[in-house]
Structure formats: structure tokens, C-alpha cells
Amino acid sequence: MKKIITLSLFALSLAAGSAQAAVQTIKAEVNGMVCAFCAQGIEKKLRAMSQTKDVYVNLKHKIVAVELKEGQSMSQDTVKDLVKDAGYDVTHIETVNQTAQEIKASIRKD
Amino acid sequence: MNIFRFTRRVLAWSIACTMPLAVHAAPMGFKDSWMSMGDFGPNWREVYANYAITSRDAFGVADTYMRSDDKQSTLDLTDVTYTHLLHRWNMRDAQANLWFVGGLGVARTHDDTNRMSDTRTMASPGIQFDYETTRVYLATMARMYRGREIDHDYGSVRAGFSFYETDYDETQPWFIVEARRMHELSDKTEITPMLRLVNKNYFIEAGVNNSRQARFNFMYIF
């Protein structure tokens, strides 16, 4: 019985770990993004993408983060082109295993 | 486009066309967006909408009403407009832009003193430069309004600051002062201190000029 419980807990922790790893967010640093009214284009375009689950924009830290739906993919170039079309320049881009809300919370802590 | 989005667009456009001012932040939205603007005061009223076909080019229509200080002469200009971003400087903590704004249309003029009305073709090429951080805003605009025997060239300078930094989802209050001159409409330099509220969904300004006239500006992108 003990073995079954231990194995079940192990399996659950693995499942939780893989769910965490499945979170994919493309996080970009964007130059020129100083006004919410002007930057709304970035958010609107990203939210319109079928792969998008959530979007987070931070003007002070110049960050745009797009969290993807589970099992969906999006290239970093797609995000770069979309930000460029909205009139801004991407200076750094990476894919992270944090949700948009987790990125928001970590920036608020700083 | 679903009926809800269509209704929202019609509603936003209706508001744009019925409100009485001149807004000059970025004069166009992002690619594939519509932008409406209004600038309302007793002697200058402007409603304007354009569609951005690229991130640098927008075509639109505008209606501008001008009145002289003595209220004797008026001009109502309806024109098609072209807006072009000549250059943008995207810096880490700031953005600067150089814009071309031009219009070509028909002006209906009326002079109460001579009891004369006329219709003329009018061209209105202009240049705008703006610089903005999350705390500071500067802009200057020079625009010609020319037609046969008409010269209502327009010049403005705007400067302001935000009271505090805000998150992207919050409304940011600004204090803006604008000085502008309108040739052959007024001998005075109009100075208007304004409170500006900027949200990701809207941009509004309201103030009272040095002739104690109320002004109101708005911008909306959809």
C-alpha cells in the first residue's frame, strides 16, 4: 500500500513538473514603448493570434510577454515582426517557462 | 467582422463626428487600425479619422472649422488626408517621431462683413515632430492651410509632464501646455493649459485657453 501511495505521489509530481514545463511565454524587450495609448497595438495584435493565451505589457521595464496556449507554438520572429509592425524595435527576445502573470508578479517584487 | 465589433466601430465613429477640438500626439495608429481624433474649441474644430495601411502610412478624411476672433469670417474645410511617418527614433526610454501630414480638399468660406461666401480648393501640407518618455512630452507642428486668397498657416508647440508613472493598464494623468497661432484668424497666440488622461484605450485632454474658451481633445483607436 505504501508503495502505491509513494508511486502515485511521484507520478503526480512528475505530471505537475511537466505541466509547468509546458508553459511557454515569449518575452521581448522593446525600445520606444513609452505610452500605453500608442503601445496598445502590440497587445491587440498579439491577443488576436490564435496561439495566444495571455499578454503582459510593462512600459517601465519595456517588456512585452506573450503566453502561449498549451500545445501551441509561435516563433520569436513572429513576435518581432508584429512589434515592428506596431512601430517599435525588439532589442532582446527569449522564451521562458513562466506565465504572463508570473512575469508580472516577479517584476512587481523587484 | 461580427455585429458587436461593427456596432462598436459605428458608435466610436459617431462619437468622433459629434464631439466639438485639435489633438496632435501620434497622428495615426498601428498597421490596419482606424484612428479617430477630435479637437474642439469655439474658433477651431476638427474631426479626423484615418486608416493605417502600413505602420508608416495612413489615409483619412477630416473636417476642420475655423473662425476668426471677431467671428466675422469662417472656413469649413473637408479634405482627404495622408499621414506619413518620415522617421522614428525608438530609444530605450523615449520615442521621437517626424511626421508628414497633408490634406487636399474643398473649403467653404463665409465673410459676414462683406456678406460673401465662396468655395475653393485647399491644400494643407505640414510637419510634426514629437518626443516622449513616460514622464515628459514635447511636440511641435507647422502646417500650411492654403487656397486661392487663403492663408491660414498653423503653428503649435506643446510641452508637458506626467504626474507619476503608471502601469500599462492604468490611466496616467498629464499636465500639458499648448501655444498655437493661426494666421489671419487671430492676432493672438492661444495658450491652453490642459489636463491629459492617457489610457491604453483612450486619450483625452481638456483645458481653458487664455481667451477663457474651453477646449477638448480626444483620440481613439479601433
Which stretch of B17-26, B32-41, B193-202 has the lowest confidence by average pLDDT?
Answer: B17-26
Listed by start position, the domains of chain A span 23-109
For residue B5, pLDDT beyond 70: no
For residue B16, pLDDT beyond 70: no
Angle of the A36-47 helix axis to the A76-85 helix axis, nearest 10: 140
Interchain contact B78–A (C-beta under 8 A): no
Q: Does the beta-carbon distance from B30 to A33 stay under 8 Å?
A: no
The answer for residues whose C-beta is within 8 angstroms of residue B206's C-beta and 6 or more apart is B194, B195, B214, B215, B216, B217
Instruction: Select from B65, B63, B29 the least CA-distant residue to B47.
Output: B63
Q: Which residue has the cell 466601430?
A: B9
Interchain contact B5–A (C-beta under 8 A): no
For residue B13, pLDDT beyond 50: no
Domains of chain B, each with CATH number or no CATH = 3-221 (2.40.160.40)
B152/B105 Cα distance (integer angstroms)? 14
The per-residue pLDDT for range A51-89, each reduced to its tens digit, is: 999 999 999 999 999 999 999 999 999 999 999 888 899
Which stretch of A65-69, B199-203, B214-218 has the lowest confidence by average pLDDT?
Answer: B199-203
Q: Does the beta-carbon distance from A43 to B132 stay under 8 Å?
A: no
% of chain B beyond a pLDDT of 90 = 65
Maximum Cα interatomic distance, chain B, rounded to a whole number of Å: 57
Our CA-based measurement puts residue A95 at a distance from the nearest CA of chain B, in whole angstroms, of 21
Amino acid identity of residue B211, one-letter, is: S
Residue A36's CB: how many other CB atoms inside 10 A? 24
The whole-number pLDDT of residue B152 equals 87
A71/A37 Cα distance (integer angstroms)? 32
Average pLDDT of span B43-57 = 93
pTM for this entry: 0.81
Q: Does the beta-carbon distance from A88 to B172 stay under 8 Å?
A: no
The per-residue pLDDT for range B127-185, each reduced to its tens digit, is: 999 999 999 999 999 999 999 888 889 899 999 999 999 989 899 999 999 999 988 88
Residue in chain B closest to A91 (alpha carbons) equals B92
A21/A18 Cα distance (integer angstroms)? 5
The whole-number pLDDT of residue B103 equals 95
Q: What are phi and psi of A61, to 5 degrees?
A: -95, 5
Amino acid identity of residue B136, one-letter, is: V
Under CATH, which number does the domain A23-109 receive? 3.30.70.100
The whole-number pLDDT of residue A42 equals 92
In the Cβ-directed half-sphere of A109, how many Cα atoms lie within 13 Å?
A: 6
pLDDT band at B30 (very low <50, low <70, confident <90, very high): confident
B160/B172 Cα distance (integer angstroms)? 13
The whole-number pLDDT of residue B10 equals 44
For residue B20, pLDDT beyond 60: no
